[in-house]
């Protein structure tokens, strides 16, 4: 439980840093990115989403027998390619989301899942 909480905080911080760096790009590509600072309830909801991600990743890693950082990073790459990257590609194909916007979010997901993998890999 402690590992999930610590990893969730780190992944949340990594994602916040990602959008801190790429915020101007996001603001040009999306009205949501141009909005003022997120409200406290949105921040709380985003942290809850991160906890769900970390919990699911921890359970999946345990279920498939992944131990250590290298195995966790391999799993992270597979999870990223199989889920957020595919979903974001679908948003480009079917909802006309700009490729650069989808790529921006895909990069955030890759960084976030890599942070999760490294920290949970070290923890195990």
What are the pLDDT digits (tens) for 38-74?
889 999 999 999 999 999 999 999 999 998 999 999 9
d(CA 31, CA 11): 24
d(CA 119, CA 6): 9
Nearest 10 degrees: Cα torsion 102, 103, 109, 115: -170
Is the full-model pTM beyond 0.85? yes
Quote the mean pLDDT of the chain: 94
Residue 36, pLDDT score: 66
pLDDT at 76 over 80: yes
d(CA 11, CA 114): 9
What are the pLDDT digits (tens) for 17-40?
999 999 889 889 988 777 767 889
**Other CB atoms within 10 Å distance of the CB of residue 24:** 10
d(CA 53, CA 70): 19
């Amino acid at each position: 439980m402690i590992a999930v909480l610590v990893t969730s905080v780190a992944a949340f911080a990594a994602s916040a840093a990602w959008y801190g760096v790429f915020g101007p790009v996001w603001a040009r590509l999306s009205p949501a990115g141009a909005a003022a600072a997120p409200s406290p309830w949105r921040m709380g909801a985003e942290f809850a989403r991160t906890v769900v991600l970390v919990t699911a990743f921890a359970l999946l890693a345990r279920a498939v027998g992944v131990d250590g950082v290298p195995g966790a990073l391999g799993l992270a790459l597979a999870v990223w390619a199989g889920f957020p990257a595919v979903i974001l590609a679908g948003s480009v194909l079917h909802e006309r989301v700009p490729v650069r916007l989808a790529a921006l979010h895909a990069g955030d997901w890759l960084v976030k899942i890599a942070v999760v993998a490294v920290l949970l890999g070290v923890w195990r």
